[in-house]
Structure 1
Amino acid sequence: MRGETFAAFREIVRRIPAGKVATYGQIAHLAGRPRCARAVGCAMAGCQDSSVPCHRVVDRLGGTKAAFDLYAPGTQRALLEAEGTVFRPDGTVDLARCQWDPLEG
């Protein structure tokens, strides 16, 4: 079950366009596993597939995670900013402007 669930999470994350983000809970909900936000985090942290833009997944408040900062502090934010993702003054992603709506593409 875990392998199939993680594969479903990765497929959804592949659809997030540059400049947009999704939350862990949003990915879980879209995969039909609404109470599995933490599992999404595990799937993203362990993902070695470069075709999965894991950096586009943030927490429910738009926060980035240190797990993506393997090479330098702020790596996830830098990757998102390079794609045009907008951050608020408190350092979180502006979800009102940048949260992905899968119905829009």
Structure 2
Amino acid sequence: MDKHSNLEKSFFERVWAVVEEIPVGRVTTYGDIAEHLGRRGAARIVGWALKDAVGGDLPCHRVVNRNGVLTGRRHFEAPHVMEERLRSEGVTFVAEDQVDLDAHRWRPEEMR
């Protein structure tokens, strides 16, 4: 039996399409993506979609929690990978494991 329902699969694919558009040097939140897709309150499901995509070509490292904290870092090859990728793109941090969301936040409405 498939791990995710067809409805979730469709939603996951929509999440991945948004993540694909996040520009270099910018971040967005799980909630921003969920709201953009008409599923306000589904931030956790966005997280599940990203967990399924880590290790592929999507820039999953550019999605943080509502406070800018790197809550998804444990799903990467090593805990420091997410931070290293963001710093290499010029993203600044206000605390350990917390990006400067005010300076780098991108909202899906800004998509081309």
* Aligned AA (1:4): S
**Which residue number in structure 1 is paired with residue 75 of structure 2?**
68
**Which residue number in structure 2 is paired with residue 80 of structure 1?**
86
Would the aligned equivalents of 1:18 and 1:83 in 2 still touch at CA under 8 Å?
A: yes
When residues 93 and 48 of structure 1 are mapped into structure 2, their CA distance, relative to the original with a 3 A threshold, is closer
**Which residue number in structure 2 is paired with residue 14 of structure 1?**
20
Q: How many residue pairs get matched?
A: 104
Bigger drift between 95-104 and 31-40 goes to 95-104
What is the CA–CA distance in structure 2 between the aligned matches of 1:76 and 1:10, rounded to whole Å? 17
Matches within 5 A, 1:24-103: 24-47=30-53, 50-65=56-71, 66-70=73-77, 72-103=78-109
- Give the CA deviation at 1:89: 3.1
Which has a greater percent of strand?
2
- Give the CA deviation at 1:103: 4.5
1:23 aligns with 2:29: yes
What is the CA–CA distance in structure 1 between the aligned matches of 2:16 and 2:55, rounded to whole Å? 9
Larger Rg: 2
Question: Which SS does the other structure have where 1:88 is aligned?
Answer: strand
Residue 4 of structure 1, aligned match among 10, 14, 22: 10
- Give the CA deviation at 1:49: 6.7
When residues 95 and 51 of structure 1 are mapped into structure 2, their CA distance, relative to the original with a 3 A threshold, is same
* Runs (5+) with no aligned partner, structure 1: none
* CA-based RMSD: 1.7
What TM-score, normalized to structure 1?
0.88
* Runs (5+) with no aligned partner, structure 2: 1-6
- Give the CA deviation at 1:30: 0.9
Structure 1's consecutive aligned runs of 4 or more residues displaced over 2 angstroms after TM superposition are 48-51, 65-70, 101-105
